């Protein structure tokens, strides 16, 4: 289905979905985008499946009722690996989900040892196990779930720099033998993590290929929207709670081109 409305919505628990937003916005610069951040319920990673399903369903419904987007991007692996089927049953507009890039990682890894860096929720989901079974059965997949990294990405966008020692410690399970560890590819299976890519590259003992899903998502969105070029583009950021932490993001969001900042109303 090709949609005609030029506004789409990108949803996440926090700022992680901005890594997806940026890639979509670069490849479809004329598109108006509502970025919805469920900061009231952040983080999703340690929450139960039921709770995450409830949070993302409410967020999606509130965004649809307030902005009538033509398409939703669930820019959150933690939510997508649980909620896509359920959301698609109850929501009639197209929904694009973001899930860990296990398939491309397994196809490019030469050593057949790949890492999955995601939230504690995503690394233990049956959905993720199935991705590994279907596409990476010939590989050893080392999984690391980290909420600390999610928080570090949030801090970075608010101007707080990363503690590189903490980052190094979080990544250490991938490199038990330091630079001799066989791992050659790491999947960034949480949308927050591409925001820390420079820091991640700096703390590991050897060079690896880092993979995330943003290009694939932008390509998928491009096949589903047919934007009008005549109307002017608007970038809107909405929060489930407009508190000081949300306000601290406004300088960063302004640099990305956002001009409207609102608290989303709950209408369901």
Residues with catalytic function:
76, 190
- Tell me which of 34, 132, 190, 196 binds ligand DGL, using CB under 6 A: 190
Residue 116 Cβ vs ligand DGL, minimum distance, rounded to whole Å:
12
Query: Which C-beta is closer to ligand DGL: that of 16 or that of 227?
Result: 16
With binding defined as CB under 6 A, does residue 239 bind ligand DGL?
no
CA distance 79 to 4: 26
Binding segment (CB under 6 A) for ligand DGL, from list 29-37, 107-115, 132-140, 189-197: 189-197
First to last CA, the chain: 27
Give whichever of 34 and 56 is closer to ligand DGL, judged by the CB atom: 56
Q: How far is CA 214 from CA 20, 21, 157, 180, in A?
A: 5, 8, 18, 30
> What are phi and psi for residue 212, nearest 5 degrees?
-130, 180
Closer by beta carbon to ligand DGL, 187 or else 225 = 187
Residue of 23, 43, 136, 210 that binds ligand DGL (CB under 6 A): 43
Nearer to ligand DGL, 71 or 150 (CB): 150
Q: How far is residue 20's CA from residue 22's CA, in Å, rounded to a whole number?
A: 5
Q: How far is the CB of 179 from ligand DGL (least distance, A)?
A: 29
Contact stretch for ligand DGL (CB under 6 A) within 104-112, 133-141, 175-183, 186-194: 186-194
The residue range among 1-9, 40-48, 82-90, 167-175 that interacts with ligand DGL, by the rule CB under 6 A, is 40-48
- Residue 44 interacting with ligand DGL (CB under 6 A): yes
Please state, in angstroms and rounded to a whole number, the distance separating the CA atoms of residues 220 and 76.
16
Q: Is 191 in the site for ligand DGL (CB under 6 A)?
A: yes
Write the binding mask 206 to 225 for ligand DGL: x where contact by CB under 6 A, - elsewhere.
--------------------
> C-alpha angle 157/224/215, rounded to 5°?
40
Exposed, middle or buried, 127 (CB in 10 Å: 0-12/13-18/19+)?
A: middle
CA 126 to CA 143: how far, in whole Å? 13
Q: For ligand DGL, which residue of 23, 78, 181, 213 counts as binding (CB under 6 A)?
A: 78
**Structure tokens, 39:** 């900061």
Please report, for residues 66, 75, 118, the alpha-carbon distance to residue 24 in angstroms, rounded to integers and kept in the order given.
22, 11, 21
Number of Cα atoms under 13 Å in the Cβ half of residue 1 = 10
Radius of gyration of the chain measured on its C-alpha atoms: 18
Q: Which of these segments, 23-31, 62-70, 184-192, 241-249, binds ligand DGL (CB under 6 A)?
A: 184-192
The alpha carbon of 231 is separated from its chain's Cα centroid by a whole number of angstroms, namely 28
Region 119-158 residues binding ligand DGL, contact defined as CB under 6 A:
119, 122, 150
For ligand DGL, the binding residue among 101, 192, 214, 249 (CB under 6 A) is 192
The site for ligand DGL (CB under 6 A) is made up of 12-14, 16, 42-45, 76-78, 119, 122, 150, 190-192
């Amino acid at each position: 289905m090709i949609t005609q409305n030029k506004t789409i919505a990108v949803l996440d628990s926090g700022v992680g979905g901005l890594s997806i937003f940026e890639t979509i916005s670069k490849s479809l610069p004329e598109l108006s985008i509502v970025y919805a951040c469920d900061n009231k319920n952040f983080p999703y990673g340690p929450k139960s499946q039921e709770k995450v399903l409830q949070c993302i369903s409410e967020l999606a419904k509130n965004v649809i009722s307030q902005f009538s987007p033509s398409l939703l991007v669930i820019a959150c692996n933690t939510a997508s690996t649980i909620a896509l089927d359920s959301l698609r049953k109850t929501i009639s507009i197209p929904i694009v989900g973001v899930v860990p890039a296990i398939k491309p990682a397994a196809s490019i890894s030469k050593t057949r040892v790949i890492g999955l860096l995601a939230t504690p929720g995503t690394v233990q989901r049956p959905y993720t196990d199935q991705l590994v079974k279907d596409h990476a059965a010939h590989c050893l997949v080392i999984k690391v779930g980290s909420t600390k990294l999610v928080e570090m990405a949030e801090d970075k966008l608010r101007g707080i720099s990363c503690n590189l020692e903490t980052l190094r410690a979080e990544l250490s399970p991938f490199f038990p033998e330091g630079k001799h560890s066989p791992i050659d590819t790491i999947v960034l299976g949480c949308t927050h993590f591409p925001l820390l890519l420079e820091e991640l590259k700096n703390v590991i003992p050897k060079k690896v290929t880092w993979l995330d899903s943003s290009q694939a998502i932008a390509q998928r969105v491009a096949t589903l929207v047919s934007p009008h070029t005549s109307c002017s583009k608007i970038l809107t950021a909405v929060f489930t709670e407009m508190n000081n932490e949300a306000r601290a993001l406004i300088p960063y969001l302004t640099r990305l081109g956002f001009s409207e900042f609102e608290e989303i109303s709950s209408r369901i």
